[in-house]
Amino acid sequence: MIKVSESAIEFLSGVISEQDIDDLHLKVDVQNAGTPAADCHLGFCEADEMDDDYDIQELGPFNLYLAKADEAYFVDAEIDYEVQGASGQLNIKAPMLKGQSPDDDAPLFERLSYFIDATINPMLASHGGRATLTAIEADKAYIEFGGGCQGCGMAKQTLSQGMQTQITNTFPEINDVLDATDHAQGENPYY
């Protein structure tokens, strides 16, 4: 269960009551759990639309529904509402949400995959794209682009002028980064 402060309960109760919907509650889900791209989503829900995939945390004026599949990522999680001057901010702290970066002695594939997710994909996401490590052979890493990067006319430059430098500087055992993408299959390229 998530630790929810009294100030957060009071703030969220007010937000829920403003919606003027009977039996309205909140649910929390995670997208991309355990990866650097993990994100927590807090949203409205009605009790009758929730199923057995969620645990119920009763908080007095409302319930918080927590996806059972995401429980491990909410160990030591907290929701708090902090007043800052004339305004306030709702904070969700979940230290296990993004998982942990691999140790230095972890396999190269695991370390490089994490690096791509943590460092490169946030930049590619601004164009609706992403990169995935598909293989490492000798000193070569093979990357597959997806989303807005698949079929994009700038993918070659992104790889050669940005990603390759970042990867080879961080991982000296990699000397070349190659594109393994079928760009002809791109459905919505950025360029």
Q: Which residue has the tokens 């807090």?
A: 42
Q: What is the C-alpha separation between 106 and 101, in angstroms, rounded?
A: 10
What length is written for the chain? 191
Q: Which CATH number do you get for residue 17?
A: 2.60.300.12
**Is the pTM of the predicted complex or chain greater than 0.85?**
no
Residue 36 lies in a domain: yes
Quick one: 134 and 171 in the same domain?
yes
| Tally of domains in the chain | 2
Q: What is the C-alpha separation between 27 and 41, in angstroms, rounded?
A: 8
The DSSP element (H or E) to which 165 belongs, if any, is helix 164-170
- State residue 169's pLDDT score: 94
In the listed set 38, 66, 93, which residue is the last one of a domain according to the structure?
Answer: 93
> Half-sphere exposure of 125 toward its Cβ, with a 13 Å CA cutoff?
9
Comparison of pLDDT for 188 and 128, the residue scoring more? 128
Quick one: 9 and 89 in the same domain?
yes
Quick one: 45 and 79 in the same domain?
yes
- Its domain, for residue 68, covers 3-93
